[in-house]
Structure 1
Amino acid sequence: MTALYEWLHDVYVKQFDFWIVLGFFAQFLFSMRFIVQWLASERVGRSIVPVAFWFFSIGGGALLLVYAIQREDPVFIAGQALGLIIYFRNLWLIFKEKRNDPTI
């Protein structure tokens, strides 16, 4: 039990700094996109992806990328960078469609 306590202390207390706070905030933003998507889908009774999903994806993904760069994690950096490209592309497609069809 002492080893577990020491590990938890090392991971959650000893390392606590601005970057840990940023990482948790970024993860919160990133997680909010699932809540937004779930609530929107429940409201209409089918699976949908609202625009807010992509904005939360960009906000959380960008901050997680900053966090990953600071932590020098190449796998995390590559994953978040690619994700940001996809999120921006989806927003571009949505706005392009709305511009072409103002009834949307």
Structure 2
Amino acid sequence: MNEELLWLDWTGLHVTPWKLIGYVGALMFGARWLVQFVASRRKGRPVIPRLFWYMSIVGSLMLLSYFGFSAKQDSVGVLQNLFPTFAALYSLRLDIKHRGWDKTRADHGMSPTVGEEPEPLPERH
């Protein structure tokens, strides 16, 4: 996996399969913010769609594998991606627990969208 990919030689880059995994992981991890931005623009308020957490997990795992198993074997990169992996897994677990697998349910307890009735607040005694 540390041999150069000759079919990418035309790019002028020296790319190995591990580097390709690292590039895709970095793109996945960075692109999740674009997904969050688009979802928030559509709703007119800050939201974090479930796809954000999936992209966080996949991107983090790809980067962890790159930093851990490639010729680079960079412990700083491993540490840098360990916490986001666990945080994203936990957040996805909470999201599924809160909304279930039905993505049409209310977003993370945020205020309702225009035209929806808010849920009544519990009475205090």
TM range (shorter): 0.7 to 0.9
Question: Partner of 1:47 in structure 2?
Answer: 46
The residue type paired with residue 89 of structure 2 is F
The residue type paired with residue 83 of structure 1 is P
Identity of aligned residues (%): 28
Please tell me whether residue 68 in structure 1 is matched to residue 67 in structure 2. yes
Q: Which has the higher contact order (CA 8 A, sep 6+)?
A: 1
Residues 23 and 103 of structure 1: CA distance in aligned 2, closer, same or farther (over 3 Å): closer
Larger Rg: 2
> For the residues of structure 2 that align with 1:67 and 1:86, how far apart are their CA atoms?
19
Instruction: Report Cα offsets for 1:24-65 as digits up to 9, x if no partner.
Output: 111111122111100000101111111100000001110000
TM-score by length of 1: 0.77
> For the residues of structure 2 that align with 1:92 and 1:26, how far apart are their CA atoms?
21
> For the residues of structure 2 that align with 1:56 and 1:64, how far apart are their CA atoms?
12
Higher normalized helix content (fraction of residues) = 1
The residue type paired with residue 67 of structure 1 is Y
Question: Partner of 1:37 in structure 2?
Answer: 36
What is the CA distance between 1:19 and its match in structure 2? Answer: 1.5
* 1:1-104 matches, cutoff 5 A: 13=13, 15-69=14-68, 70=70, 71-99=72-100, 103-104=105-106
> For the residues of structure 2 that align with 1:22 and 1:29, how far apart are their CA atoms?
10
Question: Partner of 1:7 in structure 2?
Answer: none
TM-score by length of 2: 0.65
Residues 68 and 46 of structure 1: CA distance in aligned 2, closer, same or farther (over 3 Å): same
Unaligned 5+ runs, structure 1: 1-11
Unaligned 5+ runs, structure 2: 1-11, 107-125
The residue type paired with residue 80 of structure 1 is N
